[in-house]
Structure 1
Amino acid sequence: MSAFILIGIGCDDIFVFFDIWNQEKLEWLRKYQNKLLTENANMLDVPLNQQKNLSKLKRSSSQHLFLFKHSKEIRKVLLSEEALIEIMSNTLKHAGSSMFVTSFTTSAAFFTNILTNISFIQVFGIFIGTCVLIYFAITFTAIAAFAVIYEKHIQNMISHVLSMCCTDFVNKSANSTLAKLYHRFSLACRNFRNYIFSHFMPLIIIKLRYVLVLIFLLMGILGLIGSFYYPKLKVPSTQKTALFLKDNPMEIYEFSMKNQFNGYLKEDKRLFTYPAISFVFGIRDIDDGYIFDMNDRGRLHLMPLYLNRQITLEFFKNFIKHLGTRKDLFLSNYDLEEDFKLFYELATDDILVAKVINDR
């Protein structure tokens, strides 16, 4: 799962970088074209009555690069050091802030898994959060360098190879019916995309702006209520997967009743119902195992038990009395009370205490 998450996040960063890279290339070409138009106008000393036509020409140049007759001229201009430096600078400036914010918030969300007490989830969150930040650094260094190398060398090599191998095939298929259908289909898809994102969606957003804000405001309020009031957002406390709350009828057996029906018998190595119950006292609930080592169970922290003290005996008496009320575990508490009487007599006569000391 970690690999799929990292691949998805890395692809998003690379897509954002190259999308802005292509936009900055077009923007640089438009500025370069406007610069040439201005220089030509100054050299020719354009009259005032023709300056309006020149401004219209500049506005149209922002949509079409009509000064360049074919792609070789465009590549020759773009491959200059001045052009590459300016394009890369603008790309990093515009892509850097958005990519950093998304990468930082994503890694922070994964780092919050440290708050849980499940070691597997802690390690998973730290690993993914660190890898997201590393991906951001790789995108701004290695991927940026690859973009320059691709523009200067790889793209030129690919175009030469394709022109040598596929010239005849392209010439034959250019006039075929299938090629014309493909061209029409791609043109229709492009026009549909432009209509959706350039006309329809802006119109809907402007017309329904108050309704959309109200809907998402209500969704945000409901999300806050669900996170902080009911049922509250809690970090995982068990390795069991829960789709509902623990008191939901669909989850009661998994979280509340399953342990009451299943046990493990070492002699027969089989599961059985209503197992024998063992209680261990004198151990503190401290987990000091190393969270990044799944096999490190830590140390047992013992606490002293003074069996000859009255308060200790009262604790055991109340504990066994309460345990005897568990009808789901015992039919009656008679046997428990009888066992406790023997325990009480041994503890009172200091026989049990002496035996514990001798065993140590």
Structure 2
Amino acid sequence: MERMNWFARIIAYHPYVILIGVAVFAATCIVIPVTTRKPPDFSDPTSGFQSRGTVLSQRITAWINLKDATRPSGPLSVNPKGDTVDLREISKIRRHRQHHKGQKVNRTEINRNVIAKVIYSADESTYNANEIPDKLEDSGKISAVYSVFVQNEHQIETEPPVEDEWETLTHLGEDPKRHGSGSDHKNHVHLASDGFFCSAPNIEFSRVVLSSLGESGLFNWESILSMCRIEKRLTEGEEFEKLCEKVSDEKCCPAWSLGNYIALLHNKSSCFNITENDVNLTLALLQYCAPYFYNLMLTPECTEERNEICQQVPPQCSQHNAVYNILYYLVDASFLPPNKSVSTLDNAMLILPFGRSSDTLDYYRKIDSASLQYQDIKVTAMELGLKNTLFDMYLVQDTYLVGAGALFVLLCMWAYTHSLFVTFMTVVAILFSLGISYFVYTLVFELEFFPFMNILASVVAVGIGADDAFIFCKMWQCIKAERNSWTVVKLMEEALSNAALSMFVTSLTTAAAFYTSCVSYITAIRCFSIFAGTATLANFGMMVTWLPASVVVSEYWCCRSRFPFRWLRSENVCSCGGRFLSFDKLVVTVVLKFKYMWLTMLGILALISVVIVFWWPRFSLPDTRDFQLFDSSHPFEQYELYYSEKFLFERINKVGINTKLPLRFVWGILPVDNGVSLFR
């Protein structure tokens, strides 16, 4: 107790010096990292949640290091010029495509196209590798093991003359009419060779999934018309027109949908014009051509060039690449699977004519508020490339929840202390503790990575700061009620000697619990534990310096008879209020009188919690490699967690070329982690 007397006397005699000194120190700690360090980057909310230091992560690191070392620019490269790209050649190719679009391209090197076997399961049926025709295996132009359909770049037969690049650069931004080609380009119609779509579907385009809520499925006339109506809702409005690729200056490209491909095959201008007979004929065509698709004979190249492989495919199967694009992009893999002739289409893909990017935010807001269901057809999932951007937006928007919780705690503190001044100074102390923690985190520990999870430390700081303030104010009130004749110095000595120990124990145990998580293999958890533990200790320092000095200032102004702002007076700090003593007695009485009831209720609640956690539904490890940011019912999460695996192009893109578990043995490469190290 004697050790705290000198410090208590300093606070009692010089409260303004303490407040000014602490404020200057905390403000300095905030200004230095803010001005000398880059602000935290939350553009990738999944960053930091990868495990590091485990046996598996080290093996993955060794594999990544091997791939990096064997790149053309790596130290183990056998062809250092392999990744050299001539920008002049790229410019030639682009100019050739613009001036000779629609002309037939000579593709003599078909072996540059990787056509390989797709091994996957659909409706418990597995495609047999031995069903590949012998001619395909003997041609030597494909890989017999791995599988993916990759469209080859156009091989140019003749090249146009190279223009003067300086002349081209000097005319940038000028009126194109001066040079003759501007007006032609303005009136140019950007359509593919089929005359309907602008280009071929691609994984980089935005897309939505349409599902049937009934038993009839999607491949019938009524369902396809319903999908056309939903497509019309998705492809209209100012937000869509700002994003879409254009056929001309005023018309957007059509979306790649099942209804539009049926319209293309039957020479209809819109999917609203198709008939039931058109749908039945298209279904029969898909059933007829599906074996060629799964035997890897039907490829995108069959439309433009009838090579040895494509000659075995009937011409109607390769017309406009419709069958290939429908089976590969637009229908789920369980539809018309290998070795089965009849199947129900439950899910269909609608590919929108604009890329996946953060620019689709306004478009998403528009369709999110619209009705995306017609009869039994509903939009169940979507992929707009907007997941991380939307998470960042929600993260900023949801800060009001943290503020609302903090406001509730502070209102309780104001009601308890009857001092707006003490409540305000407690808020400042909490903010200062977070600033000091950020200073120690970035400049003392020299940690550059600041995950968004560290923001949750603000919630912890509010709770711990309020608890410490309650402890000190309660101790001050009770001692003043018992020793009303004591001076402020004696009151501070007694209150600080009793409250400081309680606050120190609670802060130390809380900080120790946070620091224990530093041994975690997850980087984000380790960073959070360091930041939250440091904030807890900084909060303790503020509560034994800033808060006592604030109480002394409040006591001084409260006791003055001519205090100018009476609504700031601290009545309960000057005298212990009777209403809170009565409430304390009520709580003690209720707890002691009904002790058996509380034991029974809380015991039953604990047993129920054990069942929920360990039995049903219980905690379970994630069974997907996609990082979930939103609720499972969100359309973005539905796409990644459930629907993306149902479509062939997504399945190949996610799983890779070989869908079986690969075994890779690496020698001579050390698992050196080149990421940001937490401790140097």
TM-score class, shorter-chain normalisation, is 0.3 to 0.5
Q: Rg larger in 1 or in 2? A: 1
- Indicate the structure whose relative CO is greater, using CA pairs within 8 Å and at least 6 residues apart: 2
Give TM-score scaled by structure 1 length. Answer: 0.43
**TM-score normalized by the length of structure 2:** 0.25
Counting helix residues as a fraction of each chain, which structure ranks higher? Answer: 1
